[in-house]
Amino acid sequence: MAASPGRRPISPNSSSAPSDAARRRGKLYGRRKGPKLSAHQLGLRDSLLPGLRFDGTWPDGELWLEIGFGAGEHLFWQAEHNPHATLIGAEPYEGGVAKLLSKLAESPRPNIRIHEGDAREIVDALPDARLGRVFILFPDPWPKTRHHKRRFVQTQTLDALARAMRPGAELRFASDDAGYLAWTLERLTAHPAFAWTAQRQSDWTTRTPDWPRTRYEAKALHGPPVFLRFERR
Query: Could you confirm whether 140 is annotated as catalytic?
Result: yes
DSSP for 86-124 reads: EEEEE---HHHHHHHHHHHHHS--TTEEEE-S-HHHHHH
User: Nearest 5°: phi and psi at 226?
Assistant: -120, 140
Q: Which residues of the chain form beta strands (DSSP E)?
A: 3-4, 58-59, 62-67, 85-90, 112-115, 131-137, 165-175, 194-196, 226-232
| Euclidean distance between CA atoms 81 and 217, whole angstroms | 20
Check if the beta carbon of residue 58 is closer than 8 Å to that of residue 127: yes
| Euclidean distance between CA atoms 135 and 111, whole angstroms | 16
Residues 6+ apart with CB under 8 A from 1: 57, 59, 60, 86
Catalytic-labelled residue, pool 55, 140, 203, 210: 140
Strands 165-175 and 131-137: parallel
| Euclidean distance between CA atoms 220 and 223, whole angstroms | 5
- DSSP secondary structure letter of residue 14: T
* SS3 state of residue 194: strand
Residues tagged active-site: 140
